[in-house]
A and B are shown apart, each in its own frame.
Chain A
Amino acid sequence: MGKRLNLENTIRGILLLFSTAALVILAIIVVFLFKEGLMLFQHTSVTDFLFGHKWIPAENIYGAFPFIVSTILVTLGALLISVPLGISCAVFLVEISPRWARELVRPAIELLAGIPSIIYGVFALIIVVDVLRVPFNLATGETILAASIILAIMILPIIISISQDSIDSVPRIYREGSYAMGATDWQTISKVVVPSARRGIIAGVILGCGRAIGETMAVVLVIGNVEKLPLSLLDSGETLTSAILLEMGEAVIGSLHYNALFCLGIIPFLIVLVLSMLSSRLITKRVSRFE
Protein backbone atom coordinates (compact mmCIF):
# COMPACT_ATOMS: atom_id res chain seq x y z
CA MET A 1 0.00 0.00 0.00
CA GLY A 2 2.85 2.32 0.85
CA LYS A 3 4.44 1.68 -2.52
CA ARG A 4 1.24 2.52 -4.31
CA LEU A 5 0.94 5.80 -2.48
CA ASN A 6 4.51 6.56 -3.36
CA LEU A 7 3.79 5.96 -7.02
CA GLU A 8 0.73 8.13 -6.78
CA ASN A 9 2.72 10.93 -5.24
CA THR A 10 5.41 10.71 -7.90
CA ILE A 11 2.82 10.86 -10.66
CA ARG A 12 1.05 13.64 -8.86
CA GLY A 13 4.32 15.61 -8.75
CA ILE A 14 5.02 15.09 -12.45
CA LEU A 15 1.48 16.11 -13.38
CA LEU A 16 1.73 19.20 -11.20
CA LEU A 17 4.88 20.08 -13.12
CA PHE A 18 3.03 19.58 -16.41
CA SER A 19 0.13 21.70 -15.27
CA THR A 20 2.44 24.65 -14.72
CA ALA A 21 3.97 24.24 -18.20
CA ALA A 22 1.72 26.84 -19.79
CA LEU A 23 2.70 29.35 -17.13
CA VAL A 24 6.41 28.54 -17.44
CA ILE A 25 6.33 28.83 -21.22
CA LEU A 26 4.56 32.17 -20.99
CA ALA A 27 7.30 33.35 -18.64
CA ILE A 28 10.13 32.18 -20.92
CA ILE A 29 8.51 33.93 -23.86
CA VAL A 30 8.29 37.17 -21.91
CA VAL A 31 11.93 36.89 -20.81
CA PHE A 32 13.35 36.25 -24.26
CA LEU A 33 11.13 38.74 -26.05
CA PHE A 34 12.04 41.52 -23.62
CA LYS A 35 15.69 40.53 -23.33
CA GLU A 36 16.22 40.98 -27.06
CA GLY A 37 13.78 43.84 -27.51
CA LEU A 38 14.62 46.17 -24.66
CA MET A 39 18.24 46.46 -25.80
CA LEU A 40 16.93 48.91 -28.40
CA PHE A 41 16.19 51.44 -25.68
CA GLN A 42 19.87 51.88 -24.90
CA HIS A 43 19.96 53.63 -28.25
CA THR A 44 16.45 54.94 -28.96
CA SER A 45 14.09 56.41 -26.38
CA VAL A 46 10.70 54.81 -25.83
CA THR A 47 8.92 57.96 -27.06
CA ASP A 48 11.02 58.07 -30.24
CA PHE A 49 10.20 54.43 -30.84
CA LEU A 50 6.46 54.72 -30.23
CA PHE A 51 5.88 58.09 -31.88
CA GLY A 52 8.70 58.45 -34.40
CA HIS A 53 7.49 58.75 -38.00
CA LYS A 54 10.63 57.41 -39.70
CA TRP A 55 11.85 53.81 -39.89
CA ILE A 56 15.28 53.72 -41.53
CA PRO A 57 17.30 50.73 -40.25
CA ALA A 58 20.28 51.65 -42.45
CA GLU A 59 20.68 54.82 -40.37
CA ASN A 60 19.52 53.22 -37.12
CA ILE A 61 16.37 55.31 -36.97
CA TYR A 62 13.49 53.31 -35.52
CA GLY A 63 10.12 55.06 -35.28
CA ALA A 64 7.23 52.60 -35.19
CA PHE A 65 4.34 55.07 -35.28
CA PRO A 66 3.28 54.34 -38.90
CA PHE A 67 3.24 50.61 -38.10
CA ILE A 68 1.10 51.17 -35.02
CA VAL A 69 -1.39 53.31 -36.95
CA SER A 70 -1.55 50.76 -39.78
CA THR A 71 -2.21 47.98 -37.30
CA ILE A 72 -5.05 49.95 -35.73
CA LEU A 73 -6.60 50.85 -39.11
CA VAL A 74 -6.37 47.29 -40.43
CA THR A 75 -7.99 45.92 -37.28
CA LEU A 76 -10.79 48.49 -37.26
CA GLY A 77 -11.47 47.83 -40.92
CA ALA A 78 -11.63 44.10 -40.30
CA LEU A 79 -14.01 44.53 -37.35
CA LEU A 80 -16.23 46.87 -39.35
CA ILE A 81 -16.84 44.08 -41.84
CA SER A 82 -16.80 41.01 -39.63
CA VAL A 83 -18.77 42.16 -36.57
CA PRO A 84 -22.14 42.76 -38.28
CA LEU A 85 -21.68 39.74 -40.51
CA GLY A 86 -20.50 37.50 -37.68
CA ILE A 87 -23.28 38.41 -35.26
CA SER A 88 -25.93 38.02 -37.96
CA CYS A 89 -24.58 34.63 -38.81
CA ALA A 90 -24.55 33.56 -35.16
CA VAL A 91 -28.15 34.77 -34.73
CA PHE A 92 -29.10 32.93 -37.90
CA LEU A 93 -27.61 29.67 -36.65
CA VAL A 94 -29.29 29.78 -33.27
CA GLU A 95 -32.63 31.46 -33.95
CA ILE A 96 -33.96 30.94 -37.46
CA SER A 97 -31.84 28.38 -39.28
CA PRO A 98 -33.57 25.17 -40.32
CA ARG A 99 -31.62 22.06 -39.41
CA TRP A 100 -30.27 21.41 -42.91
CA ALA A 101 -28.84 24.93 -43.20
CA ARG A 102 -27.16 24.64 -39.82
CA GLU A 103 -25.54 21.35 -40.82
CA LEU A 104 -24.15 23.16 -43.87
CA VAL A 105 -22.99 26.40 -42.26
CA ARG A 106 -21.35 24.99 -39.11
CA PRO A 107 -18.79 22.82 -40.91
CA ALA A 108 -18.18 25.69 -43.32
CA ILE A 109 -17.24 27.93 -40.40
CA GLU A 110 -14.98 25.25 -38.91
CA LEU A 111 -13.24 24.87 -42.23
CA LEU A 112 -12.85 28.61 -42.60
CA ALA A 113 -11.09 28.55 -39.22
CA GLY A 114 -8.85 25.71 -40.36
CA ILE A 115 -7.56 27.18 -43.63
CA PRO A 116 -3.90 28.17 -43.14
CA SER A 117 -3.27 31.90 -43.15
CA ILE A 118 -0.69 31.62 -45.93
CA ILE A 119 -3.43 30.33 -48.23
CA TYR A 120 -5.70 33.25 -47.32
CA GLY A 121 -2.76 35.48 -48.15
CA VAL A 122 -2.08 34.00 -51.57
CA PHE A 123 -5.80 34.14 -52.38
CA ALA A 124 -6.03 37.78 -51.32
CA LEU A 125 -2.87 38.72 -53.19
CA ILE A 126 -4.20 37.40 -56.46
CA ILE A 127 -7.94 38.10 -56.18
CA VAL A 128 -8.74 40.81 -53.61
CA VAL A 129 -5.93 43.19 -54.57
CA ASP A 130 -7.00 43.15 -58.21
CA VAL A 131 -10.70 43.46 -57.46
CA LEU A 132 -10.12 46.60 -55.36
CA ARG A 133 -7.86 48.51 -57.72
CA VAL A 134 -10.23 49.32 -60.55
CA PRO A 135 -13.47 50.41 -58.78
CA PHE A 136 -11.63 52.70 -56.35
CA ASN A 137 -9.35 54.05 -59.10
CA LEU A 138 -6.27 53.29 -57.02
CA ALA A 139 -2.66 53.34 -58.18
CA THR A 140 -2.26 50.01 -56.40
CA GLY A 141 -4.76 47.62 -54.82
CA GLU A 142 -2.31 46.63 -52.09
CA THR A 143 -4.04 48.64 -49.41
CA ILE A 144 -5.12 48.49 -45.80
CA LEU A 145 -8.64 47.76 -47.06
CA ALA A 146 -7.42 44.63 -48.86
CA ALA A 147 -5.80 43.42 -45.64
CA SER A 148 -8.96 44.28 -43.66
CA ILE A 149 -11.15 42.25 -45.99
CA ILE A 150 -9.04 39.12 -45.75
CA LEU A 151 -8.65 39.54 -41.97
CA ALA A 152 -12.40 39.95 -41.63
CA ILE A 153 -12.88 36.56 -43.26
CA MET A 154 -10.24 35.04 -41.01
CA ILE A 155 -11.75 36.29 -37.74
CA LEU A 156 -15.37 35.54 -38.66
CA PRO A 157 -15.21 31.98 -37.27
CA ILE A 158 -14.06 33.23 -33.84
CA ILE A 159 -16.75 35.89 -33.62
CA ILE A 160 -19.46 33.52 -34.84
CA SER A 161 -18.62 30.60 -32.59
CA ILE A 162 -18.34 32.63 -29.38
CA SER A 163 -21.41 34.76 -30.12
CA GLN A 164 -23.30 31.61 -30.99
CA ASP A 165 -22.49 29.97 -27.65
CA SER A 166 -23.57 33.11 -25.89
CA ILE A 167 -26.85 33.49 -27.80
CA ASP A 168 -27.52 29.79 -27.29
CA SER A 169 -27.31 30.19 -23.53
CA VAL A 170 -29.92 32.95 -23.32
CA PRO A 171 -32.71 31.26 -21.34
CA ARG A 172 -35.75 30.10 -23.31
CA ILE A 173 -38.06 31.98 -20.94
CA TYR A 174 -36.76 35.33 -22.20
CA ARG A 175 -37.82 34.48 -25.73
CA GLU A 176 -41.16 33.04 -24.66
CA GLY A 177 -41.92 36.18 -22.71
CA SER A 178 -41.23 38.30 -25.75
CA TYR A 179 -43.38 36.17 -28.05
CA ALA A 180 -46.18 36.16 -25.49
CA MET A 181 -46.32 39.93 -25.80
CA GLY A 182 -46.87 39.55 -29.55
CA ALA A 183 -43.36 40.42 -30.69
CA THR A 184 -42.15 39.19 -34.08
CA ASP A 185 -39.04 36.99 -34.44
CA TRP A 186 -36.93 40.00 -35.36
CA GLN A 187 -38.19 42.09 -32.45
CA THR A 188 -37.38 39.23 -30.11
CA ILE A 189 -33.91 38.83 -31.59
CA SER A 190 -32.99 42.51 -31.65
CA LYS A 191 -34.65 43.60 -28.41
CA VAL A 192 -34.26 40.55 -26.18
CA VAL A 193 -31.86 37.87 -27.39
CA VAL A 194 -28.91 39.91 -28.66
CA PRO A 195 -28.92 42.37 -25.73
CA SER A 196 -29.00 39.49 -23.23
CA ALA A 197 -26.09 37.82 -25.00
CA ARG A 198 -24.07 40.98 -25.38
CA ARG A 199 -21.28 40.06 -22.94
CA GLY A 200 -20.42 36.92 -24.86
CA ILE A 201 -20.70 38.72 -28.17
CA ILE A 202 -18.33 41.41 -26.96
CA ALA A 203 -15.93 38.73 -25.74
CA GLY A 204 -16.00 37.16 -29.21
CA VAL A 205 -15.34 40.50 -30.87
CA ILE A 206 -12.42 41.17 -28.52
CA LEU A 207 -10.89 37.78 -29.30
CA GLY A 208 -11.35 38.40 -33.01
CA CYS A 209 -9.70 41.77 -32.56
CA GLY A 210 -6.70 40.11 -30.92
CA ARG A 211 -6.41 37.65 -33.75
CA ALA A 212 -6.52 40.46 -36.32
CA ILE A 213 -3.78 42.41 -34.54
CA GLY A 214 -1.51 39.37 -34.47
CA GLU A 215 -2.09 37.97 -37.94
CA THR A 216 0.96 38.13 -40.18
CA MET A 217 1.13 35.97 -43.26
CA ALA A 218 -2.12 37.07 -44.90
CA VAL A 219 -1.44 40.72 -44.15
CA VAL A 220 2.15 40.93 -45.35
CA LEU A 221 1.19 39.73 -48.81
CA VAL A 222 -1.52 42.30 -49.50
CA ILE A 223 -0.91 45.46 -47.49
CA GLY A 224 1.88 46.83 -49.68
CA ASN A 225 4.37 47.37 -46.83
CA VAL A 226 4.75 51.10 -47.14
CA GLU A 227 6.51 52.89 -44.30
CA LYS A 228 4.58 56.12 -44.75
CA LEU A 229 1.93 57.04 -42.18
CA PRO A 230 -1.41 55.86 -43.66
CA LEU A 231 -4.32 58.28 -43.60
CA SER A 232 -7.19 56.15 -44.87
CA LEU A 233 -8.20 52.56 -45.53
CA LEU A 234 -7.32 53.10 -49.18
CA ASP A 235 -3.66 53.88 -48.45
CA SER A 236 -1.00 51.21 -48.38
CA GLY A 237 0.52 50.54 -44.97
CA GLU A 238 2.70 48.21 -42.98
CA THR A 239 1.57 46.58 -39.73
CA LEU A 240 3.79 45.71 -36.76
CA THR A 241 3.64 42.03 -37.62
CA SER A 242 4.24 42.45 -41.33
CA ALA A 243 7.31 44.61 -40.64
CA ILE A 244 8.78 41.83 -38.49
CA LEU A 245 8.21 39.17 -41.11
CA LEU A 246 9.48 41.35 -43.93
CA GLU A 247 12.70 42.47 -42.32
CA MET A 248 13.74 39.66 -39.97
CA GLY A 249 15.06 37.56 -42.87
CA GLU A 250 17.76 40.11 -43.67
CA ALA A 251 18.34 41.70 -40.27
CA VAL A 252 21.79 40.87 -38.92
CA ILE A 253 21.45 38.80 -35.75
CA GLY A 254 22.23 40.79 -32.62
CA SER A 255 22.20 44.14 -34.43
CA LEU A 256 20.10 47.10 -33.38
CA HIS A 257 17.76 46.34 -36.28
CA TYR A 258 17.23 42.85 -34.82
CA ASN A 259 16.45 44.33 -31.39
CA ALA A 260 14.04 46.83 -32.94
CA LEU A 261 12.11 44.03 -34.63
CA PHE A 262 11.74 42.26 -31.27
CA CYS A 263 10.41 45.54 -29.90
CA LEU A 264 7.82 45.59 -32.67
CA GLY A 265 6.81 42.11 -31.47
CA ILE A 266 6.38 43.24 -27.86
CA ILE A 267 3.59 45.68 -28.79
CA PRO A 268 1.08 43.20 -30.27
CA PHE A 269 2.13 40.66 -27.61
CA LEU A 270 1.09 42.96 -24.77
CA ILE A 271 -2.09 44.17 -26.48
CA VAL A 272 -3.21 40.64 -27.22
CA LEU A 273 -2.51 39.49 -23.66
CA VAL A 274 -4.72 42.25 -22.27
CA LEU A 275 -7.48 41.53 -24.79
CA SER A 276 -7.40 37.83 -24.03
CA MET A 277 -7.74 38.38 -20.29
CA LEU A 278 -10.53 40.87 -20.86
CA SER A 279 -12.50 38.43 -22.98
CA SER A 280 -12.07 35.51 -20.59
CA ARG A 281 -13.35 37.73 -17.76
CA LEU A 282 -16.41 38.60 -19.82
CA ILE A 283 -17.07 34.97 -20.60
CA THR A 284 -16.75 33.75 -16.99
CA LYS A 285 -18.98 36.55 -15.71
CA ARG A 286 -21.61 35.70 -18.28
CA VAL A 287 -21.65 32.08 -17.21
CA SER A 288 -22.02 32.94 -13.55
CA ARG A 289 -24.83 35.36 -14.33
CA PHE A 290 -26.97 32.73 -15.97
CA GLU A 291 -26.28 30.02 -13.47
Chain B
Amino acid sequence: MSKIIWLRILFLLCVIALFSGCVEDNKEEGLVIAGSTTVQPIVVKAVEVYGKNNPDLRIGVQGGGSGTGIRMVGKGSVDIGASSRELSTEEHLKNPGLVTHSIAIDCLIITLHPTNPIEDLSTQQITDIFAGKITNFKEVGGPDRRIVLVIREDGSGTRSTFENMVMNNTEVSDTALQKPANGAIRFTIAGNENTIGYLGIGYIDDTVKAISINGIPPSKENIRKGEYLLSRELYLVTDGEPTGETKKFIEFILSDEGQILVEEEGFISMR
Protein backbone atom coordinates (compact mmCIF):
# COMPACT_ATOMS: atom_id res chain seq x y z
CA MET B 1 0.00 0.00 0.00
CA SER B 2 2.79 2.44 0.95
CA LYS B 3 4.24 2.00 -2.52
CA ILE B 4 1.08 3.35 -4.06
CA ILE B 5 1.23 6.38 -1.82
CA TRP B 6 4.79 6.93 -2.95
CA LEU B 7 3.66 6.67 -6.51
CA ARG B 8 0.95 9.24 -5.97
CA ILE B 9 3.41 11.63 -4.35
CA LEU B 10 5.75 11.20 -7.27
CA PHE B 11 2.97 11.81 -9.74
CA LEU B 12 1.87 14.90 -7.84
CA LEU B 13 5.42 16.23 -7.85
CA CYS B 14 5.63 15.77 -11.60
CA VAL B 15 2.39 17.63 -12.13
CA ILE B 16 3.45 20.45 -9.85
CA ALA B 17 6.78 20.72 -11.61
CA LEU B 18 5.09 20.74 -14.97
CA PHE B 19 2.75 23.56 -14.08
CA SER B 20 5.00 25.62 -11.86
CA GLY B 21 6.81 26.65 -15.03
CA CYS B 22 3.68 27.89 -16.69
CA VAL B 23 2.29 29.75 -13.69
CA GLU B 24 5.44 31.75 -13.09
CA ASP B 25 5.29 35.24 -14.47
CA ASN B 26 5.89 35.22 -18.15
CA LYS B 27 7.02 38.82 -18.35
CA GLU B 28 9.51 39.62 -21.05
CA GLU B 29 12.90 40.73 -19.80
CA GLY B 30 13.20 44.49 -19.55
CA LEU B 31 16.53 44.80 -21.28
CA VAL B 32 18.53 42.20 -23.19
CA ILE B 33 22.20 42.59 -24.04
CA ALA B 34 24.12 40.11 -26.19
CA GLY B 35 27.47 39.87 -27.93
CA SER B 36 31.21 40.04 -27.35
CA THR B 37 32.62 37.96 -24.52
CA THR B 38 35.36 40.57 -24.09
CA VAL B 39 32.83 43.28 -23.26
CA GLN B 40 30.76 40.90 -21.15
CA PRO B 41 32.60 41.41 -17.82
CA ILE B 42 31.94 45.16 -18.01
CA VAL B 43 28.28 44.60 -18.82
CA VAL B 44 27.79 41.95 -16.13
CA LYS B 45 29.45 44.19 -13.55
CA ALA B 46 27.36 47.16 -14.63
CA VAL B 47 24.18 45.07 -14.43
CA GLU B 48 25.17 43.91 -10.95
CA VAL B 49 25.51 47.48 -9.66
CA TYR B 50 22.79 49.09 -11.80
CA GLY B 51 20.35 46.33 -10.84
CA LYS B 52 20.76 47.18 -7.14
CA ASN B 53 19.51 50.71 -7.79
CA ASN B 54 16.75 49.51 -10.14
CA PRO B 55 15.45 46.31 -8.56
CA ASP B 56 12.37 46.17 -10.80
CA LEU B 57 14.27 46.21 -14.07
CA ARG B 58 15.17 42.77 -15.43
CA ILE B 59 18.33 42.70 -17.52
CA GLY B 60 19.48 39.64 -19.45
CA VAL B 61 23.09 39.26 -20.57
CA GLN B 62 24.03 36.72 -23.24
CA GLY B 63 27.33 35.95 -24.94
CA GLY B 64 27.52 34.92 -28.57
CA GLY B 65 30.39 37.03 -29.83
CA SER B 66 30.63 40.41 -31.53
CA GLY B 67 29.16 39.30 -34.86
CA THR B 68 26.13 37.70 -33.29
CA GLY B 69 25.54 40.71 -31.00
CA ILE B 70 25.61 43.14 -33.92
CA ARG B 71 23.35 40.94 -35.99
CA MET B 72 20.85 40.46 -33.18
CA VAL B 73 20.56 44.15 -32.40
CA GLY B 74 20.06 44.79 -36.12
CA LYS B 75 17.21 42.29 -36.19
CA GLY B 76 15.72 43.73 -33.03
CA SER B 77 16.01 40.49 -31.01
CA VAL B 78 18.09 42.26 -28.35
CA ASP B 79 18.17 45.88 -27.14
CA ILE B 80 21.91 46.30 -27.00
CA GLY B 81 24.71 44.49 -28.84
CA ALA B 82 28.21 44.34 -27.39
CA SER B 83 31.15 44.43 -29.77
CA SER B 84 34.92 44.36 -29.39
CA ARG B 85 35.42 45.68 -32.92
CA GLU B 86 34.00 48.40 -35.16
CA LEU B 87 31.14 47.55 -37.48
CA SER B 88 32.27 46.09 -40.79
CA THR B 89 31.19 47.85 -43.98
CA GLU B 90 28.92 44.90 -44.69
CA GLU B 91 27.21 45.26 -41.31
CA HIS B 92 26.85 49.01 -41.92
CA LEU B 93 25.19 48.44 -45.28
CA LYS B 94 22.81 45.86 -43.85
CA ASN B 95 21.69 48.03 -40.93
CA PRO B 96 22.52 51.69 -41.60
CA GLY B 97 20.67 52.72 -38.44
CA LEU B 98 23.10 51.06 -36.04
CA VAL B 99 24.79 53.44 -33.61
CA THR B 100 27.97 52.54 -31.73
CA HIS B 101 28.82 53.86 -28.27
CA SER B 102 32.42 53.58 -27.09
CA ILE B 103 32.35 52.53 -23.45
CA ALA B 104 35.94 51.55 -22.71
CA ILE B 105 39.40 51.14 -24.14
CA ASP B 106 40.88 47.69 -24.32
CA CYS B 107 44.31 46.70 -25.47
CA LEU B 108 45.76 43.40 -26.57
CA ILE B 109 49.05 42.85 -24.83
CA ILE B 110 51.70 40.48 -26.11
CA THR B 111 52.31 38.11 -23.24
CA LEU B 112 55.05 35.66 -22.29
CA HIS B 113 55.80 33.26 -19.45
CA PRO B 114 57.29 35.20 -16.48
CA THR B 115 60.63 33.36 -16.77
CA ASN B 116 61.12 34.43 -20.39
CA PRO B 117 63.81 37.18 -20.39
CA ILE B 118 62.53 38.85 -23.60
CA GLU B 119 61.31 42.40 -22.80
CA ASP B 120 60.53 43.83 -26.21
CA LEU B 121 59.60 42.69 -29.73
CA SER B 122 59.22 44.66 -32.93
CA THR B 123 56.04 44.52 -35.01
CA GLN B 124 57.92 42.55 -37.67
CA GLN B 125 59.19 40.00 -35.14
CA ILE B 126 55.64 39.53 -33.79
CA THR B 127 54.30 39.02 -37.29
CA ASP B 128 57.00 36.46 -38.08
CA ILE B 129 56.50 34.62 -34.79
CA PHE B 130 52.74 34.30 -35.26
CA ALA B 131 53.12 33.39 -38.93
CA GLY B 132 55.37 30.51 -37.89
CA LYS B 133 58.51 31.85 -39.61
CA ILE B 134 60.32 32.24 -36.31
CA THR B 135 59.97 29.05 -34.28
CA ASN B 136 62.50 29.48 -31.48
CA PHE B 137 62.91 32.30 -28.98
CA LYS B 138 66.70 32.34 -29.57
CA GLU B 139 66.02 33.85 -33.02
CA VAL B 140 64.71 36.99 -31.32
CA GLY B 141 67.38 37.16 -28.64
CA GLY B 142 65.73 34.92 -26.09
CA PRO B 143 66.56 31.51 -24.63
CA ASP B 144 66.69 28.32 -26.71
CA ARG B 145 63.01 27.35 -26.43
CA ARG B 146 60.61 26.15 -29.11
CA ILE B 147 57.80 28.69 -29.49
CA VAL B 148 54.24 27.60 -28.73
CA LEU B 149 51.65 30.10 -30.02
CA VAL B 150 48.46 30.59 -28.04
CA ILE B 151 45.63 32.38 -29.85
CA ARG B 152 41.86 32.81 -29.78
CA GLU B 153 39.53 30.57 -31.78
CA ASP B 154 38.28 31.12 -35.34
CA GLY B 155 35.54 33.72 -35.46
CA SER B 156 36.65 35.57 -32.31
CA GLY B 157 36.54 39.40 -32.45
CA THR B 158 39.74 39.58 -30.40
CA ARG B 159 41.48 37.36 -32.91
CA SER B 160 40.36 39.41 -35.91
CA THR B 161 41.48 42.62 -34.16
CA PHE B 162 44.93 41.13 -33.64
CA GLU B 163 45.22 39.82 -37.16
CA ASN B 164 44.07 43.10 -38.72
CA MET B 165 46.54 45.13 -36.70
CA VAL B 166 49.60 42.89 -36.84
CA MET B 167 49.40 40.21 -39.48
CA ASN B 168 48.77 42.25 -42.68
CA ASN B 169 47.16 39.41 -44.60
CA THR B 170 49.78 36.89 -43.48
CA GLU B 171 48.08 33.79 -42.15
CA VAL B 172 48.59 32.81 -38.54
CA SER B 173 50.48 29.50 -38.29
CA ASP B 174 48.24 26.45 -38.10
CA THR B 175 50.32 25.07 -35.24
CA ALA B 176 48.86 27.61 -32.82
CA LEU B 177 46.88 26.40 -29.82
CA GLN B 178 43.38 27.88 -29.93
CA LYS B 179 41.59 28.87 -26.73
CA PRO B 180 37.98 29.96 -26.35
CA ALA B 181 38.63 32.74 -23.84
CA ASN B 182 41.18 35.18 -22.46
CA GLY B 183 41.39 33.34 -19.17
CA ALA B 184 42.24 30.10 -20.92
CA ILE B 185 45.06 31.82 -22.81
CA ARG B 186 46.45 33.25 -19.58
CA PHE B 187 46.25 29.85 -17.88
CA THR B 188 48.14 28.19 -20.74
CA ILE B 189 50.85 30.84 -20.86
CA ALA B 190 51.30 30.81 -17.08
CA GLY B 191 51.80 27.05 -17.12
CA ASN B 192 54.31 26.68 -19.96
CA GLU B 193 57.55 28.64 -20.49
CA ASN B 194 57.50 28.03 -24.28
CA THR B 195 54.39 30.07 -24.95
CA ILE B 196 53.58 33.46 -26.43
CA GLY B 197 50.09 34.87 -26.87
CA TYR B 198 47.93 37.97 -26.66
CA LEU B 199 45.63 38.95 -23.81
CA GLY B 200 43.16 41.73 -23.14
CA ILE B 201 44.67 44.19 -20.68
CA GLY B 202 42.10 43.28 -18.05
CA TYR B 203 43.53 39.78 -17.84
CA ILE B 204 47.17 40.69 -17.22
CA ASP B 205 48.30 39.62 -13.75
CA ASP B 206 51.55 38.45 -12.15
CA THR B 207 51.27 34.91 -13.53
CA VAL B 208 52.22 36.22 -16.98
CA LYS B 209 54.59 38.84 -18.36
CA ALA B 210 53.49 41.76 -20.54
CA ILE B 211 56.14 43.05 -22.97
CA SER B 212 56.62 46.25 -24.90
CA ILE B 213 56.26 46.55 -28.67
CA ASN B 214 58.76 48.63 -30.65
CA GLY B 215 60.11 49.92 -27.33
CA ILE B 216 56.74 51.22 -26.14
CA PRO B 217 55.58 49.60 -22.89
CA PRO B 218 51.84 48.92 -22.38
CA SER B 219 51.29 51.66 -19.80
CA LYS B 220 47.87 53.25 -19.34
CA GLU B 221 48.99 56.55 -20.87
CA ASN B 222 50.48 54.87 -23.92
CA ILE B 223 47.34 52.87 -24.47
CA ARG B 224 44.98 55.80 -24.00
CA LYS B 225 47.05 57.87 -26.41
CA GLY B 226 46.91 54.98 -28.87
CA GLU B 227 50.68 54.59 -28.96
CA TYR B 228 50.80 50.95 -27.90
CA LEU B 229 50.20 49.04 -31.07
CA LEU B 230 47.19 46.98 -30.15
CA SER B 231 44.75 49.33 -28.41
CA ARG B 232 41.09 49.31 -29.44
CA GLU B 233 37.76 50.62 -28.24
CA LEU B 234 34.91 48.49 -26.96
CA TYR B 235 31.39 49.31 -28.05
CA LEU B 236 27.76 48.93 -27.19
CA VAL B 237 25.61 48.97 -30.32
CA THR B 238 22.00 50.14 -30.54
CA ASP B 239 19.55 50.33 -33.41
CA GLY B 240 19.05 54.07 -33.75
CA GLU B 241 19.67 56.54 -30.95
CA PRO B 242 18.90 54.81 -27.64
CA THR B 243 15.74 55.66 -25.72
CA GLY B 244 14.13 54.72 -22.41
CA GLU B 245 15.82 52.04 -20.32
CA THR B 246 18.44 51.41 -22.99
CA LYS B 247 19.50 55.03 -22.89
CA LYS B 248 19.59 55.09 -19.08
CA PHE B 249 21.76 51.97 -18.96
CA ILE B 250 24.30 53.27 -21.50
CA GLU B 251 24.38 56.60 -19.68
CA PHE B 252 25.10 54.70 -16.48
CA ILE B 253 28.10 52.94 -17.99
CA LEU B 254 29.42 56.25 -19.33
CA SER B 255 28.90 58.00 -15.97
CA ASP B 256 31.69 58.42 -13.43
CA GLU B 257 30.31 55.51 -11.46
CA GLY B 258 30.13 53.28 -14.55
CA GLN B 259 33.63 54.18 -15.70
CA ILE B 260 34.99 53.23 -12.26
CA LEU B 261 33.49 49.77 -12.87
CA VAL B 262 35.26 49.70 -16.25
CA GLU B 263 38.57 50.35 -14.49
CA GLU B 264 37.74 47.79 -11.81
CA GLU B 265 37.35 45.16 -14.52
CA GLY B 266 40.86 46.03 -15.71
CA PHE B 267 39.95 48.04 -18.81
CA ILE B 268 40.83 51.68 -19.41
CA SER B 269 38.12 54.28 -18.92
CA MET B 270 37.11 56.73 -21.63
CA ARG B 271 38.23 59.77 -19.64
Convert B29-41 into 0s and 1s, putting 1 for each residue whose CB lies closer than 8 angstroms to a CB of A.
Answer: 0000000010000
**B65 x A252 contact (CB < 8 A):** yes
What's the minimum C-beta distance from B207 to chain A, rounded to whole angstroms?
Answer: 14
Chain A residue at minimum C-beta to C-beta distance from B158: A250
Chain A residue at minimum C-beta to C-beta distance from B155: A250
A:251-268 near B, CB below 8 Å: 251-253, 255, 257
Q: Judge if A135 is at the interface, Cβ distance under 8 Å.
A: no
- Number of A-B residue pairs having CB atoms within 8 Å of each other in the complex: 86
Q: Judge if B221 is at the interface, Cβ distance under 8 Å.
A: no
CB-contact partner of A57 in B63, B71, B154, B187, under 8 A: B154
Could you say which residues of chain B place their CB within 8 Å of the CB of A246?
A: 153-154, 178, 180
Chain B interfacial residues counted at CB < 8 A: 31
What's the minimum C-beta distance from B17 to chain A, rounded to whole angstroms?
Answer: 18
Could you say which residues of chain B place their CB within 8 Å of the CB of A245?
A: 180
Q: B52-60, B123-131, B168-176, B236-244: which one contacts chain A?
A: B168-176
Question: How far does the alpha carbon of A142 sit from the alpha carbon of B8 in the complex, in Å?
Answer: 52
CB-contact partner of B155 in A139, A141, A226, A251, under 8 A: A251
**A228 x B174 contact (CB < 8 A):** yes
Q: In the complex where A133-B192, A247-B155, A249-B64 touch, is A142 in contact with B177 (Cβ < 8 A)?
A: yes
Could you say which residues of chain B place their CB within 8 Å of the CB of A54?
A: 174
**B175 x A253 contact (CB < 8 A):** no
Q: Judge if B212 is at the interface, Cβ distance under 8 Å.
A: no
Chain B residue at minimum C-beta to C-beta distance from A129: B191
Q: Judge if B194 is at the interface, Cβ distance under 8 Å.
A: yes
Q: Judge if B101 is at the interface, Cβ distance under 8 Å.
A: no
Question: How far does the alpha carbon of A130 sit from the alpha carbon of B187 in the complex, in Å?
Answer: 12
Q: In the complex where A57-B155, A252-B71 touch, is A140 in contact with B65 (Cβ < 8 A)?
A: no
Question: How far does the alpha carbon of A245 sit from the alpha carbon of B146 in the complex, in Å?
Answer: 28
What's the minimum C-beta distance from A14 to chain B, rounded to whole angstroms?
Answer: 15
Convert B166-205 into 0s and 1s, putting 1 for each residue whose CB lies closer than 8 angstroms to a CB of A.
Answer: 0000010011111110000001100110110000000000
**B195 x A140 contact (CB < 8 A):** yes
Q: Judge if B116 is at the interface, Cβ distance under 8 Å.
A: no
A:41-60 near B, CB below 8 Å: 54-58
**A56 x B153 contact (CB < 8 A):** no
Q: Judge if A148 is at the interface, Cβ distance under 8 Å.
A: no
Could you say which residues of chain B place their CB within 8 Å of the CB of A139?
A: 146-148, 192, 194
Q: Judge if A236 is at the interface, Cβ distance under 8 Å.
A: yes
A:75-127 near B, CB below 8 Å: 125
CB-contact partner of B188 in A56, A142, A252, under 8 A: A142
Question: How far does the alpha carbon of A133 sit from the alpha carbon of B194 in the complex, in Å?
Answer: 11
Question: How far does the alpha carbon of A36 sit from the alpha carbon of B191 in the complex, in Å?
Answer: 39
B:118-152 near A, CB below 8 Å: 146-148
Question: How far does the alpha carbon of A115 sit from the alpha carbon of B243 in the complex, in Å?
Answer: 48
Q: In the complex where A133-B192, A140-B195, A247-B155 touch, is A238 in contact with B71 (Cβ < 8 A)?
A: no
Question: How far does the alpha carbon of A164 sit from the alpha carbon of B18 in the complex, in Å?
Answer: 39
Could you say which residues of chain A place their CB within 8 Å of the CB of B174?
A: 54, 226-228
Chain A residue at minimum C-beta to C-beta distance from B153: A246
**A225 x B71 contact (CB < 8 A):** no
Could you say which residues of chain B place their CB within 8 Å of the CB of A224?
A: 177-178
Q: Which A residues are closer than 8 A to B by beta carbons?
A: 54-58, 125, 129-130, 133, 139-142, 220, 224-228, 236, 238, 245-247, 249-253, 255, 257
10 contacts between A and B (CB under 8 A): A54-B174, A140-B195, A141-B192, A226-B175, A226-B177, A247-B154, A250-B155, A250-B157, A251-B67, A253-B71
